[in-house]
Amino acid sequence: AQSVTQPDIHITVSEGASLELRCNYSYGATPYLFWYVQSPGQGLQLLLKYFSGDTLVQGIKGFEAEFKRSQSSFNLRKPSVHWSDAAEYFCSWGGGTASKLTFGTGTRLQVTL
Amino acid sequence: DGGITQSPKYLFRKEGQNVTLSCEQNLNHDAMYWYRQDPGQGLRLIYYSQIVNDFQKGDIAEGYSVSREKKESFPLTVTSAQKNPTAFYLCASSIGGQVNTEAFFGQGTRLTVV
């Protein structure tokens, strides 16, 4: 089945350390890929998106993601994490004839001071 | 300011009761969506609508109903047939129903069965 997988349920990093959140997709063609962030008890906010072209995309809040077709991945990265980045992060995808986005199960990021 | 408004933020329901969650948007978006969020399960699609007076079932539509009489409104009714309704519900909208467009989310409604 076409889907996205976020292998890490929970990640803890120290403030100032680098961050990489993993996302793998299962789809034959190039999908539309997104990363969203959710603060506790809130809705989701778009961080960045990939449709085509340059495989390294920049987003808000200093985040970036790289599309790697060979690995079916779209990992989210940040060079230096801030305590305010603590939240839940969702990868999502769309493609083909789908008229809806499908979301991964999320990765909860904890930042230690 | 443009956005999506969900109300109420917290809702308590007695077993056997129907409750309706409100979702209003002033973004002039054609498409609207309802998701259910449970810990560790991500977001699961309940219903979506790509145009006024039309909607489709998502992955977990049983026990829920919707209407789309106005472009800006997409209320969700949780019926007594929904056996486990306690969850966080998110409404979203997008410019069109295509998957290459960004979804904008409301702040959510937390429903608890008491």
Specify which residues B93 forms β-bridges with.
B32, B104
Residues of B in contact with A9 (CB under 8 A): 40
Q: What pLDDT sits at residue A89?
A: 97
Give the C-alpha distances (Å, rounded to integers) separating A65 from A18, A87, B46. 13, 17, 29
Nearest to A105 among B6, B41, B108 (CB): B41
Q: What pLDDT sits at residue A31?
A: 79
Residues of B in contact with A46 (CB under 8 A): 102-103
Per residue, the 3-state secondary structure of chain A, as one string, reads CCEEECCCCEEEEECCCCEEECCEEECCCCCEEEEEEECCCCCEEEEEEECCCCCEEECHHHCEEEEEHHHCEEEEEECCCCHHHCEEEEEEEECCCCCCCEECCCEEEEEEC
Nearest one of B3, B105, B90 to A44, comparing CA atoms: B105
More confident residue, B73 or A42: B73
Q: What is the mean pLDDT of residues A52-76?
A: 94
Nearest to A43 among B45, B98, B105 (CB): B105
More confident residue, A30 or A113: A113
* pLDDT (tens digit per residue) in B35-89: 999 988 889 999 999 899 999 999 999 999 999 999 999 999 999 989 899 999 9
Share of chain B above pLDDT 70, in %: 96
Q: What is the mean pLDDT of residues A57-64?
A: 96
Q: What pLDDT sits at residue B114?
A: 86
Peptide bond into A40 cis (omega under 30): no
More confident residue, A45 or A93: A45
Q: What is the mean pLDDT of residues A61-68?
A: 96
Residue B98 reports pLDDT greater than 70 = no
Q: Which of B43, B105, B111 should one mutate to test binding to chain A, selecting the residue with the greatest count of A CBs within 10 A?
A: B43
Share of chain A above pLDDT 70, in %: 93
Closest-approach residue (CA) in chain A for B39: A105
d(CA A38, CA B37): 12
* Average pLDDT over chain B, rounded to an integer: 92
pLDDT band at B6 (very low <50, low <70, confident <90, very high): very high
B107 touches chain A (CB under 8 A): yes
Q: What 3-state class would DSSP assign to B68?
A: coil
* pLDDT (tens digit per residue) in A78-89: 999 999 999 999
